[in-house]
Amino acid sequence: MKNIVLFGPPGAGKGTQAEFLKEKYQLVHISTGDVFRYNIKNNTDLGALAKSYMDKGHLVPDEVTINMLNAEVEKNPKANGFIFDGFPRTEAQAIALATLMETKNSQINAMVALEVDDEVLVGRLLERGKVSGRADDANEAVIRERIAEYYRKTDVLKEFYQKQDKYYGVDGVGSIEEITERLSNVIDKL
């Protein structure tokens, strides 16, 4: 089983790359942002709760997010491995993920991080906002708050995985194909 955390700030390209990597390596792709948006669209209680945080650019509370992620993993008992996109985003989530993988007699093999400068991120997200219909991409103040939230709570995870020798940084600027190749070079060696 290969389990990969695809990491990086908002707008780094995680979702785009996960689409290619899941096919290439036959992994189940779990995007916490996508699951939250699905719940918002279907007017569930989870969706209403998540929306109240997402609209402000804040993270959804750990307990809610961890329970949801556990449920998504349990839905795929036959998975060959997972690509986690948008999870973990806090140290508590990373610890919960390690515990969950242990119950499967497995582990996270690598955190592969897409590295992109902040101003490039803001530009990409504003562009995406013109077509994505995502409320959190439509407003520059919310975009900047998401990036600030990333530095407050999420960036520390680099160190968390570095300490376990599982952190791999990849340049996230270039064509989609170039970046897929850079990521594949890391994953092939795992």
Q: What's the chain look like in SS3? A: CCCEEEECCCCCCHHHHHHHHHHHHCCEEEEHHHHHHHHHHCCCHHHHHHHHHHCCCCCCCHHHHHHHHHHHHHCCCCCCCEEEECCCCCHHHHHHHHHHHHHCCCCCCEEEEEECCHHHHHHHHHHHHHHHCCHHHCCHHHHHHHHHHHHHHHCCHHHHHHCCCCEEEEECCCCHHHHHHHHHHHHHCC
- 168 belongs to the binding site for ligand ADP (CB under 6 A): no
Cβ-based nearer residue to ligand ADP, 43 or 189: 43
Q: Is 134 a catalytic residue?
A: yes
Catalytic site residue from 22, 37, 89, 182: 89
Shortest gap between Cβ of 189 and ligand ADP (angstroms)?
Answer: 26
Which residue's CB is nearer to ligand ADP, number 1 or number 148?
148
Q: Would you count residue 33 as binding ligand ADP (CB under 6 A)?
A: yes
In angstroms, what is the minimal distance from the CB of 183 to ligand ADP? 16
Which residue's CB is nearer to ligand ADP, number 2 or number 134?
134
* C-beta closer to ligand ADP: residue 36 or 167: 36
Which of 51, 124, 146, 182 is the catalytic position? Answer: 146
Q: Which residue, chain included where needed, has tokens 């402000």?
A: 56
**Quick one: 130 or 189, whose CB is closer to ligand ADP?**
130
Q: Which of 128, 144, 158, 166 is catalytic?
A: 128
Residue 70: closest CA among 116, 112, 32, 105: 32
- Residue 179 lies near ligand ADP (rule: CB under 6 A): no
**Chain centroid, CA 185 distance in Å:** 20
Binding status of residue 146 toward ligand ADP by CB under 6 A = yes
Site for ligand ADP in 57-116 (CB under 6 A): 58-60, 65, 86-87, 89, 93
Nearest to 87 by CA among 77, 104, 73: 73
- The residue annotated as part of the active site, out of 2, 134, 158, 166, is 134
> Would you call 89 a catalytic residue per the annotation?
yes
Binding site for ligand ADP (CB under 6 A): 10-11, 32-33, 36, 53-54, 58-60, 65, 86-87, 89, 93, 136, 146
